Amino acid sequence: MISVREISKSFSGLQAVDAVSFDLPTGQIAGLLGPNGAGKSTTIKMITGSLAPDSGSVSICGIDPAESPSQARALVGYLPESAPLYPEMSALGYLTYRARLWGIAKGDRAARVGSAMERCRITDVAKRRIGHLSKGYRQRVGLAAALIHDPPVLILDEPTNGLDPTQIRSARSLIRELAEDKTMLLCSHILPEVELTCDRVLVMAGGKVRADGVPSELVRSAGGPVRYVVELRTNPAAGPEHAIRALASVAGAASAERDPHQPDDHDRGWTRAIVHATPDAPDLREPIAGALEDRGLFVRELTRVTPSLESLFVRLMDEAAPAAESTAGATF
């Protein structure tokens, strides 16, 4: 449905997007994830046809926005981060106005507007002024406007930005319903939201796609050994190094160290340690607890930390740091 091939864009010598490629099929919710300045907004602008790529091509249902901009735009429903709403208009009046802009025949407008309002669950506020609606309802009105011409592709830029937890859950459910018969690209810098909403995640940094796949597969690809966080009361006579040696001696432990990011609670005799497991090690929580108990060391916390999408994201951002520093302060 959406095909992006090696698109690149630079501004005043700064490479905003560098040879980005991906394909999105019908019924898939893909999340474009990355920090500010990663190139997400520029990529979206090139897909929607509002910005021409320096090189590469985009195809929406087989139509190139650069060659047939009107045809391509008719296939896309776009909800920007700040939806262009008119606060003095009612939701019904605004959506009717948008239907007119799309050239929907007068006899079909009421049905189209009613369908969009029903799908976005805003029928109960149809006659209220948009400026009097909550942020969650305003987002729904913006989404209904993007749906009014029934496009096969939806592109949503930060659709849950500024919403409260209840509104976010409602928006997430609505997005999933809409994806049943549409291709959806959701742009965000909020990792948990993308992970919970999307079937597929594309991580951008420094103008490039650094990872692309199903969230669970990306987590597995993140690699790295499992870690264990241990907080224990040390023997004052032996000191914390005695506990570190005990942890390192556990079968399946590659190494052990005092947690460099968490200061010890010296006044009360508590030490935090990190145990790094070997790649093929089983769950070490019981062996760790047993080894410490044998040495008379009391455990207050023992947590198993597995690789996550967040850890992959952080690693990819670190790897792309040089490119990100070169575009610092720019909004792409």
pLDDT, one tens digit per residue, over 90-102 is: 999 999 999 999 9
Distance CA 23, CA 244 (A): 49
Is 285:304 a contact under the CB 8 Å cutoff?
A: yes
Q: So where are the chain's domains?
A: 2-221, 225-305
Closest to 205 measured CA to CA, from 47, 65, 43, 5: 43
Is 75:29 a contact under the CB 8 Å cutoff?
A: no
pLDDT, one tens digit per residue, over 275-324 is: 999 988 899 999 999 999 988 888 989 999 877 777 778 778 877 776 55
pTM of the complete model: 0.74
The total of other beta-carbon atoms located within 10 Å of residue 127's CB is 9
Structure tokens given for 301: 């916390």
* Burial tier of 302 (Cβ tally within 10 Å: 0-12, 13-18, 19+): middle
Where are the alpha helices (H) located in the chain, listed in sequence order? Answer: 40-48, 69-74, 91-101, 106-119, 135-147, 165-178, 191-197, 215-222, 240-248, 285-294, 309-319, 321-326
The CATH code for residues 2-221 is: 3.40.50.300
DSSP string for 267-297: GGTEEEEEEEEPTT----HHHHHHHHHHTTP
- Classify domain 225-305 at the CATH superfamily level: ACT domain (3.30.70.260)
pLDDT interval class at 146 (50, 70, 90):
very high
